[in-house]
Amino acid sequence: MTENNEEVGGLCDGKFGDSLFRKPFTHLLRKNELPELFKKVEGMNDHRLLAIITALLIETRLDNLLGLFLPRYSKLLNASNFTFSMKINLLEALNFVPPSITTAAHCLRKIRNEFAHDLSKVDFSSIEEPLKRSLRSLCEECLSW
């Protein structure tokens, strides 16, 4: 329970007052795409590919979310220098979602970058220790909810 006696349910739910929206507003999207998205990574055993595809799925969801609130978001989206990191930072600046969502997105982005820029990294055990600690911390936080 939070200080306002409201439950916090998971990674996508935030604490009262931390952001403009405390709960996911997936009802604004036309349909729930999560089952289809999960199918895209189901059975994938290549960690590098899993990290890159998952990051792409998350980035697409960020684009959809930002596009709901920014009428001319396509101007940013079509700019070649508008990166995944900048999209997450924009979402943080707008303060629409709980910080746990953008923290998780940054963590995933960093993991994707490790795999994308270092061919010697072949599985999750080979990512840098500080990033592993961040990922473990996020997982523990999700499990505690």
Q: Residue 14: which residues within 8 A CB-CB, separation 6 or more?
A: 8, 21, 22, 23, 97, 98, 99, 100, 101
pLDDT score, position 50? 83
What is the Cα Rg of the chain in Å? 16
Residue percentage of the chain with pLDDT more than 90: 21
Q: 73 pLDDT band (50/70/90 cuts)?
A: very high
Give the predicted TM-score (pTM) of the model: 0.69
pLDDT score, position 16? 64
The answer, yes or no, to whether residue 35 has pLDDT greater than 70, is: no
The answer, yes or no, to whether residue 58 has pLDDT greater than 80, is: yes
Task: Please compute the mean of the pLDDT values over residues 5-21 and round it to a whole number.
Answer: 57
The answer, yes or no, to whether residue 34 has pLDDT greater than 70, is: no
Residue percentage of the chain with pLDDT more than 70: 66
Distance CA 47, CA 81 (A): 27
pLDDT top residue among 39 and 107: 107
